[in-house]
Amino acid sequence: MSIIVPCPNPKIDPKVQLSIDRLQSHSFVEIEAVQQFHAWLDDKRHCRQACRVIGDSRTGKTLACDTYRWKNAPKQLSGDAPIVPVIYWHATTETGQRELFEQLLECLKYRIIRGTLSELRQRVYRLLKACQVEMIILDEAHRLRPKTFSEVRDIFDLLGIAVVLVGTDRLDAVVRRDEQVHNRFMACHRFYRFDSQTLEDTTAIWEEYVLRLPQPSNLTSAAMQKILGASTRGYLGALDEILRSAGRRALQTGQSRIELSLLTQVAAEYQ
Per-residue pLDDT tens digits for 228-243: 999 999 999 999 999 9
Q: Are residues 63 and 163 in the same domain?
A: yes
Query: Can you say how many angstroms the Cα of residue 266 is from the centroid of all Cα atoms in its chain?
Result: 24
Q: Is residue 33 part of a domain?
A: no
At a CB cut-off of 8 Å and minimum separation 6, what does 122 contact? none
Structural domain span for residue 228? 14-25+194-270
Q: Are residues 234 and 206 in the same domain?
A: yes
- pLDDT at site 59: 94
Of the listed ranges 35-44, 108-117, 199-208, 215-224, the one predicted with least confidence:
108-117
Q: Is residue 37 part of a domain?
A: no
Q: Are residues 58 and 140 in the same domain?
A: yes
The CATH number of residue 208's host domain is 1.10.8
Residue 204 has pLDDT above 80, yes or no: yes
Contacts of the segment 211-214: beta carbons below 8 A, 24+ positions apart: 211/23, 211/243, 211/244, 211/247, 211/258, 212/19, 212/22, 213/19, 213/247, 213/250, 213/251, 213/256, 213/257, 213/258, 214/256, 214/257
- pLDDT at site 9: 52
Q: Is residue 152 part of a domain?
A: yes
* Predicted confidence (pLDDT) per residue in 1-10, tens digit: 444 455 555 5
Sort 100 into a burial class: Cβ within 10 Å, 0-12 / 13-18 / 19+: buried
Higher pLDDT, 125 or 1: 125
The CATH number of residue 69's host domain is 3.40.50.300
Q: Are residues 155 and 217 in the same domain?
A: no
Q: Are residues 90 and 180 in the same domain?
A: yes
Domain boundary pick from 191, 216, 239: 191
* Predicted confidence (pLDDT) per residue in 19-77, tens digit: 888 888 877 788 999 999 999 999 999 999 999 999 999 999 999 999 999 999 999 87
Whether 99 contacts 92, CB under 8 Å: yes
Q: Are residues 112 and 209 in the same domain?
A: no
Residue 213 has pLDDT above 50, yes or no: yes
CA triplet 198, 204, 205: central angle to 5 degrees?
90
Domain boundary pick from 191, 215, 232: 191
Residue 199 has pLDDT above 90, yes or no: yes
Number of Cβ within a 10 Å radius of residue 126 = 12
- pLDDT bin (cut points 50, 70, 90) of residue 217 is very high
Q: Are residues 208 and 262 in the same domain?
A: yes
* Predicted confidence (pLDDT) per residue in 129-166, tens digit: 999 999 999 999 999 999 999 999 999 999 999 999 99
Q: Are residues 182 and 73 in the same domain?
A: yes
Whether 60 contacts 237, CB under 8 Å: yes
Q: Are residues 127 and 93 in the same domain?
A: yes
Q: Is residue 138 part of a domain?
A: yes
Total domains, the chain: 2
Buried b (16+ CB within 10 A) or exposed e, 45-84: beeebbbbbbbbebbbbbbbbbbbbeebebeeeeeebebb
Domain boundary pick from 147, 176, 191: 191
pTM given for the model = 0.87
Q: Is residue 163 part of a domain?
A: yes
Average model confidence (pLDDT) for the chain? Answer: 91
